[in-house]
Chains A and B, each alone.
Chain A
Amino acid sequence: MERTKKIGLIVYILFLMIPIYWLINLSLQPNRDIMGSFSLYPQNLTFDNYRRIFTEAGWARGYLNSLIYVLMNTVISITVALPAAYAFSRYKFIGDKHLFFWLLTNRMAPPAVFLLPFFQLYQTVGIFDMHIAVALAHCLFSIPLAVWILEGFMSGVPKEIDETAYIDGYSFPRFFVFIFIPLIRSGIGVAVFFCFMFSWVELLLARTLTSVDARPISVVMTRSISATGVDWGMLAAAGVLTLIPGALVIYFVRNNLARGFALGRV
């Protein structure tokens, strides 16, 4: 039984890794090799594609821009989702169920048409092409998710802890920050991972709400598609580099994920 499990997992991971290996393989080849012939490993190993990304203008800036708005989004989402999740897990209030489902419906708007009013709204408010614009727009889907995840963790904390703290004379803010938040640390880790992930990979809103100053890496990447054709090597190298921040985040929250959580129903 243990053997079948191991084999199943290894087959699955191989299935995941082979396309990524292919991307890395291509990123280490010059363009004429990529288009010229098929080979399982780089015939003429070169780091040129990477060198160009680090030296040519725009690329590094693109990474930085993406990281900035993703971090802003994560911080905003978690900060506002914490008290909201507490409210959902501890209290009944008028409209709680409807509010929760409404939050979720914001993930369901098909982007193509909504992009135009988004653009107009953010331009009117005067934050177009700023990192905060993308961060706020991504809140639409990251906040509902963060609330859902955190609510699951909070429901697992016995209510007696709250009551004891209040009897001991803690005010709500002090109790929340110093007692409650440390108790649901792993929940925060998991929520951070999901906010980070969905914001990092999102493309359409990020592209619509930026032009020059806050241009994300995924948009910079489309530059390598020029009149002379696609610069596959550069594209592959840039793709490999986009994997790194996410891999770091998952590494940091691995223990939180491994500790386990069972999301409740609201």
Chain B
Amino acid sequence: MNKVENNRAWFLVLPVLLLVAFSAVIPLMTVVNYSIQDILDPHTRFFVGDEWFREMLRDSQLQSALGRQLIFSFSVLAIQIPLGIAIALCMPTRGIWVAISLVLVALPLLVPWNVVGTIWQLFARGDIGLLGVTLNSIGIEYNYTRGSTAAWFTVLAMDVWHWTSLVVLLCYSGLRAIPDAYYQAARIDGASRIAVFRYIQLPRLAGVLTIAVLLRFMDSFMIYAEPFVLTGGGPGSSTTFLSQHLATMAIAQFDVSRAAAFSLIYFLIILAISWVFYTIITRATKD
């Protein structure tokens, strides 16, 4: 749609701007303020410039947490996006089953995040949980509190369980928006299913996929409550992702300045990667 140039449109955006800025700007400035000072107690603080930033970037624990985080987030995207699209293609398009499958599919999304951790904790326990008991009885040694591989895969399975439906819902709605005429034209041309998917469905899903990829990336990159409840970051530090590392620094060690510097770095990483995704997808759809 060709848009009209009109700067008075700012008045329509103003309420959003004010409301969001109220909660966004001051906390961000405060965090920047923490990050460049050495705070000994509420009345004694020194300006230290970029010292914390340098220190944090060299911190080996942080680097390994970042590595784990990247592997985790990209595994999440690699599983959830294709799986979500596939399930969306399987969803019914008319009849009573539409409502039933929508409600069932959306259910995991509506579970508070600490409850998600609790569900999986109970579900995966080797002695009383269905998953743990089943795996152990078919001869797979499984104990997510001891084995770091088991813990990692349990967190991943939990995230797939929790969030794939977001991709499903968005893609389902995107698919439903494709006019029937497109499919009729494809049928006349004798297009294969794969061709229909590649040249009709996938391009029309670009918009919803942008938001799905971005949301899944941001949220998985900041995952906190679920693994915190499930594994507490362990065993060892195998499931300590970035925000848990950050929370330990900020809350347990009460090292506000270092943690502030770290969160700004963290924020910039998310920002940079999201920007790359956003640009790639919007570029790809322009062609």
The answer to whether A and B interact is: yes
Q: Which residues of A contact B (CB under 8 A)?
A: 1, 5-6, 8-9, 12-13, 15-20, 22-23, 26, 34-35, 37-38, 40, 76, 79-81, 83-84, 86-94, 96, 99, 101, 103-114, 116-118, 120-121, 136-137, 139-140, 143-145, 147-148, 152, 155-156, 159, 190, 197, 200-204, 217-218, 221-222, 232, 235-236, 238-239, 242-243, 245-247, 249-251, 254, 257-265
Task: Report yes or no: A112 in contact with B263, Cβ–Cβ below 8 A.
Answer: yes
Of the residues B7, B26, B267, contact of A94 by C-beta under 8 Å: B7
* In the complex, chain A residues whose CB is within 8 Å of the CB of B218: 107-108
B36 at the interface (CB under 8 A from A): no
CA distance A198 to B19 in the complex (A): 18
Ranked nearest first, the 7 interchain pairs of A and B with the lowest CB-CB distance are A260-B176, A246-B110, A117-B30, A263-B207, A260-B177, A91-B9, A87-B12
B72 at the interface (CB under 8 A from A): no
CA distance A118 to B278 in the complex (A): 28
Task: Report yes or no: B111 in contact with A242, Cβ–Cβ below 8 A.
Answer: yes
Interface residues of B in 1-36 (CB under 8 A from A): 1, 3-10, 12-13, 15-17, 19-20, 22-24, 26-28, 30-31, 34
Given A108-B271, A236-B122, are A13 and B104 neighbors across the interface (CB < 8 Å)?
Answer: yes
Of the residues B4, B87, B107, contact of A91 by C-beta under 8 Å: B4
**For chain B, which range describes its interface: under 10, 10 to 19, 20 to 34, or 35 or more residues?**
35 or more
Task: Report yes or no: A83 in contact with B119, Cβ–Cβ below 8 A.
Answer: no
Task: Report yes or no: B16 in contact with A143, Cβ–Cβ below 8 A.
Answer: yes
* In the complex, chain B residues whose CB is within 8 Å of the CB of A217: 112
Task: Report yes or no: A257 in contact with B102, Cβ–Cβ below 8 A.
Answer: yes
CA distance A90 to B1 in the complex (A): 8
Task: Report yes or no: B107 in contact with A118, Cβ–Cβ below 8 A.
Answer: no
Contact pattern, B 110-132, Cβ under 8 Å of A = 1, otherwise 0: 11111100111011000111110
Of the residues B27, B109, B119, B178, contact of A197 by C-beta under 8 Å: B109
B98, B127, B128 interface centre (most CB from chain A within 10 Å): B128
